[in-house]
């Protein structure tokens, strides 16, 4: 018969019970870490898709702007039929608080069939705040309901520019004005005017003042600058959808991975382009660390 002292290590009989305790502890720790990660990522994702970030970027224009110095434009881009609060009251309150001189809706207001009534309701409320200008995005044309949308917006007083220009005059009879150039998305009719043909309609008088171009996509800075625009306002890229602190341009846009110039101010010569990161979502892909974006640009003259 063996004595206890025959065992080389008297802890050996207990090792079978100690291991499961360690395992259970490790499992508990893993569960806690996983839960914290899920909560953190979930919290950031909810915030990234619901809390609107308002910005007031100043765009310096290389011309005197006279009465229009300090003119402000709220850029409402890429709504994609999304609502912020009941009937978008959160978005409307933020725009109203910003007191813009003009609201530019730069495309992708809708992205599916049957969405026109909601878009028109939003536009009606925007019109109570400031004059509203609208240009098409790629998704309006994709719905095939674009003509009905454009007409419905015109009927309530929105200025829908389809490769057209419009002038906003200062009070009084000085004739001082700024010129808005509205470019249709290339997804539109094949026989539409080219941007060069649209810009060719600008008079010398127009070119002496501010020329403000509204276009949906974010990659026309180098094409449009030589045509004589001072400022371009656009959206389309949704800020690259997923943004990480070490990747300033985001991960994905409809043009592919790691797109460039997806949000913020870019310049080429004397032309500035401000890219909104948009408000809604494309193809239902949630944003991450890239909140819905409401830029209210302030135009300052030389
Ligand atoms: Fe979009």
Mind listing the pLDDT tens digit for each residue in 265-298?
999 999 999 999 999 998 888 999 999 999 999 9
Same domain for 118 and 241, yes or no, is: yes
- Does residue 11 carry a pLDDT above 90? no
Q: What is the pLDDT of residues 150-189, one digit of tens each?
A: 999 999 999 999 999 999 999 988 889 999 999 999 999 9
In the chain, how many domains are there?
A: 2
Cα–ligand 1 centroid distance for 157 (angstroms): 23
pLDDT tier for residue 207 given thresholds of 50, 70 and 90 = very high
- Residue 49 belongs to some domain of the structure: no
- From the CA of 87, how far away is ligand 1's center (Å)? 20
Residue 90 shares a structural domain with residue 23: no
Answer whether residue 5 shows pLDDT above 60: no
Q: Are residues 27 and 64 in the same domain?
A: no
Is residue 167 within 8 Å of 139, Cβ to Cβ? Answer: no
- CA–centroid distance, 109 to ligand 1, in Å, is 8
* Residue 85 belongs to domain spanning: 54-300
Q: Are residues 132 and 201 in the same domain?
A: yes
Q: How far is the CA of 63 from the centre of ligand 1 (A)?
A: 32
What pLDDT score was predicted for residue 61?
Answer: 96
Give the predicted TM-score (pTM) of the model. 0.89
Q: How close is the Cα of 188 to the center of ligand 1, in Å?
A: 15
Would you say 110 and 139 are in contact if contact means Cβ atoms under 8 Å apart?
Answer: yes
pLDDT tier, 10 (very low <50, low <70, confident <90, very high otherwise): very low
d(CA 78, ligand 1 centre) in Å: 4
What's the 73 CA to ligand 1 centre distance in angstroms? 19
Q: What is the mean pLDDT of the chain?
A: 92
220 in the same domain as 126:
yes
* Residue 7 placed within a domain: no
Q: How far apart are CA 120 and CA 148, in angstroms?
A: 11
Both 279 and 149 in a single domain? Answer: yes
Give residue 278 CA to ligand 1 midpoint distance, Å: 7
User: From the CA of 106, how far away is ligand 1's center (Å)?
Assistant: 9
pLDDT in tens, 46-66: 988 899 999 999 999 999 999
Residue 280 in any domain: the answer is: yes
Tell me, yes or no, whether 39 and 74 share the same domain. no
Residue 4 lies in a domain: no
User: What span, in angstroms and rounded, lies between the C-alpha atoms of 41 and 289?
Assistant: 10
Q: How far is the CA of 129 from the centre of ligand 1 (A)?
A: 23
CATH number of the CATH domain containing 68:
3.60.21.10
- Domain check: are 95 and 138 in the same one? yes
In the predicted model, is pLDDT for residue 258 greater than 50?
Answer: yes
Distance CA 110, CA 226 (A): 31
Do 31 and 105 belong together in one domain? Answer: no
């Amino acid at each position: 018969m063996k004595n206890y002292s025959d065992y080389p290590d008297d802890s050996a009989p207990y090792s079978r019970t100690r291991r499961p305790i360690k395992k259970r502890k490790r499992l508990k720790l893993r569960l806690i870490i996983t839960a914290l990660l899920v909560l953190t990522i979930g919290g950031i994702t909810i915030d990234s898709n619901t809390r609107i970030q308002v910005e007031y970027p100043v765009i310096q224009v290389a011309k005197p702007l006279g009465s229009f110095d300090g003119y402000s434009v709220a850029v409402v881009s890429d709504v994609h039929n999304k609502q912020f609060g009941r009937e978008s009251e959160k978005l409307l309150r933020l725009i109203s608080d910003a007191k813009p001189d003009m609201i530019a809706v730069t495309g992708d207001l809708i992205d599916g069939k049957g969405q026109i009534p909601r878009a028109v309701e939003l536009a009606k409320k925007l019109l109570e705040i400031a004059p509203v200008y609208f240009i098409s995005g790629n998704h309006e044309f994709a719905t095939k309901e674009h003509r009905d949308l454009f007409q419905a917006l015109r009927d309530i007083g929105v200025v829908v520019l389809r490769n057209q220009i419009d002038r906003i005059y200062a009070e009084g009879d000085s004739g001082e004005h700024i010129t808005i150039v509205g470019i249709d998305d290339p997804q539109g009719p094949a026989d539409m005017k080219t941007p060069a043909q649209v810009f060719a309609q600008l008079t010398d008088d127009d070119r002496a003042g501010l020329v403000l171009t509204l276009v949906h996509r974010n990659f026309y800075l180098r094409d449009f600058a030589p045509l004589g625009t001072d400022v371009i306002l656009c959206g389309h890229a949704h800020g690259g959808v997923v943004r990480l602190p070490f990747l300033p341009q985001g991960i994905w846009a409809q043009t592919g991975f790691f797109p460039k110039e997806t949000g913020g101010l870019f310049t080429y010569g004397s032309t500035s382009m401000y890219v909104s990161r948009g408000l809604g979502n494309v193809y239902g892909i949630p944003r991450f660390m890239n909140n819905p974006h409401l830029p209210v640009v302030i135009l300052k003259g030389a």
